Amino acid sequence: MTITEQVVKNIIKKLLKGEDYRIEIVTLIDAAFLQFVVYFFKKVVDAKFKNQDITIDWYKKEFLDSKLPINDIAINSGLNKKTIHNMFNSSTREIVIDASDEHYDLLYESIKNLVDTEHDLELTLTIKFKGVSVDLNVSESLIVINTLAVKRAAIRGGSWSTAGKRVEKPLMQTLCKLYGVSEKNYALTIKGKQIKEDQFEREIDFYLIEGKNQHKCEVKLMGIGNPESADAFIARDSKVFIADKLSDTNKKQLNSRKVEWVELRSEDGFKKFGIVLKNLKISHTKLLNNIEKDLEIVFREIFK
């Protein structure tokens, strides 16, 4: 799912205000999922209508067709490509198709056993589109519902990961520009090379530079309770750590290793970045009281 430039700006604004940014991502997830639901239901109506006189499993015939894109085949079977890759250490077309077929057969059998056991369960899913109406029985309905659940999870996982990578660079640039840090005092590098402005999705390192010292910075928009603790980031020799939220344990870990940190959702929020710059002896200017106007100027420079 694409995280647009405007969404990145909205997230940065919320982070600087100490507000929760997650509603921006949740809204995108909802929109993408609902769009898929409508698309998928249209395909179900078409497939069911075409195969109403065929006794074989019409869903498997239409939605696990080997000619379909492998991402679609995996989702339609109740899996996703990433899961298949983790299972088989590969996600070639042949492996995805075989794994999807096998999983679908197991899923179908599980649903059949459930329906046979739950005699009182009655469920009919009726879908109408352009005057055409199809009814799905219990088994068919559960398969469709399972596919939608898998797709929702896939959209959700990809969205949070993409959002984090997409925001890291412009957030650090915004902080530096708001504090008047010279461009010679910060850099975005990957394996020693400068990253182009449009390469947001790649793994990045941001450095604050003071003389010969290049201080590695990391941004993690994690909430308290995230399984990946600050300790994992410290192990990568980061000198500056910017986070949405930090637990007391995280703060103690960072302080014990003399790592400079900023908790965006704390009382002073991003303003602690000025203290970080001072501690690192990086020249900067005083932050203005009203940053709204400055933000628009900064965004025009960053997203040009």
**In the predicted model, what is the mean pLDDT of the chain?**
86
Neighbour count for residue 269 (Cβ, 10 Å):
16
Q: What is the model's pLDDT at position 224? A: 55
Of 166, 173, 198, 169, residue with least CA distance to 2: 166
Query: At 232, is the pLDDT very low, low, confident or very high (cuts 50, 70, 90)?
Result: low
pLDDT at 201 over 60: no
pLDDT at 198 over 80: no
Neighbour count for residue 83 (Cβ, 10 Å):
17
Q: Cβ neighbours of residue 199 under 8 Å, at least 6 residues apart?
A: none
Q: What is the model's pLDDT at position 162? A: 81
Element (H, E) at 48: helix 22-50
**Sequence letter at residue 272:** K
Q: What is the model's pLDDT at position 250? A: 85
Q: Which of 32-46, 88-102, 155-169, 266-280 has the lowest mean pLDDT?
A: 155-169
28-52 pLDDT, tens digit each? 899 999 999 999 999 999 998 888 6
Cβ pair 186, 209 in contact under 8 A:
yes
* Spatial separation of the C-alpha atoms in residues 125 and 177, rounded to whole Å: 55
pLDDT at 77 over 60: yes
Which tokens in the block code for residue 80? 């996703």
Neighbour count for residue 221 (Cβ, 10 Å):
21
pLDDT at 249 over 80: yes
Neighbour count for residue 159 (Cβ, 10 Å):
19
Residue 34 buriedness (CB in 10 A; 0-12 / 13-18 / 19+): exposed
Q: In the predicted model, what is the mean pLDDT of residues 92-96?
A: 95
**Sequence letter at residue 96:** V
Query: At 84, is the pLDDT very low, low, confident or very high (cuts 50, 70, 90)?
Result: very high
Q: What is the model's pLDDT at position 81? A: 92
Q: Model-level pTM?
A: 0.75
Which tokens in the block code for residue 259? 């790592």
Residue with tokens 């940190």: 261
136-173 pLDDT, tens digit each? 999 999 999 999 999 999 999 888 878 878 898 999 99
What would you report as the CA-atom Rg of the chain, rounded to the nearest whole angstrom? 25
Cβ pair 286, 178 in contact under 8 A:
no
pLDDT at 17 over 70: yes
pLDDT at 243 over 80: yes
Query: At 191, is the pLDDT very low, low, confident or very high (cuts 50, 70, 90)?
Result: very low
Q: Which of 26-40, 125-139, 186-200 has the lowest mean pLDDT?
A: 186-200
| pLDDT above 70: percentage of residues in the chain | 87
> What is the Cα 118 distance to its own chain's centre?
38
56-73 pLDDT, tens digit each? 689 999 999 999 999 999
